[in-house]
Amino acid sequence: MAIERTFIAVKPDGVKRGLIGEVLKRFEMRGYKIIGLKMLQVTPEQAAAHYAEHVGKPFYDGLVKFITAAPVVAIALEGEDVVAQARRIMGATDPNKAEIGTIRADFGQAMNRNIVHGSDSVESANRELAIYFKSEELMSGAKNSFDYVIESLL
């Protein structure tokens, strides 16, 4: 499988509830590398670019209002099949339908308060990463703690 990148966001509800570390832990435990990480206040322009495919839908205004209301944590991950696997780790969008053990099942409170966002395809990941990160902010090939342990054993 090819090495991919994906975009994950800990949404305002996850930040407010202190779940940033738990979300990061889930991806790191799976072996994915965090190649970009920052807390930011999403601007209306970023929100519009992020949710462009939902313009005109009845829930669009609510999405923009929610994501711009409070800080989010933007995460860039890298690894084999990371787009699909990150979505499995997060679980179904509706926490009530997500499998037990996923982020959304364990911590989500409602469909519109489900803690995290994750890119749904490689194309979406590339587009979303560009909205939140400059290319020089991504540390491609960054090592995670597992890599340092393995190197120390060799």
At which residue do the structure tokens 């787009």 appear?
Answer: 83
Q: What is the model's pLDDT at position 143?
A: 58
Task: Judge whether residue 141 has pLDDT over 80.
Answer: no
Six-digit token pair at 19? 């779940």
Stretch 63-89: mean pLDDT: 97
Residue-range definition of the domain harbouring residue 47: 3-153
Q: What is the model's pLDDT at position 129?
A: 98
62 or 146: which leads in pLDDT = 62
* 84 and 97 Cβ atoms separated by less than 8 Å: no
CA angle 119, 35, 68 (to 5 degrees): 50
User: Lowest-pLDDT range, 59-63, 101-105, 106-110, 143-147?
Assistant: 143-147
Six-digit token pair at 55? 């313009």
Stretch 24-40: mean pLDDT: 97
What global pTM score does this model have? Answer: 0.89
Provide the domain count of the chain.
1
Q: Output the domain CATH number for residue 143.
A: 3.30.70.141
**Terminal CA-CA length for the chain:** 25
Local structure of residue 93 (DSSP, 8 states)? S
Six-digit token pair at 74? 């933007």
Q: What is the model's pLDDT at position 147?
A: 59
Stretch 54-63: mean pLDDT: 94
* 74 and 132 Cβ atoms separated by less than 8 Å: yes
Residues annotated as catalytic (active site), given as ranges: 117
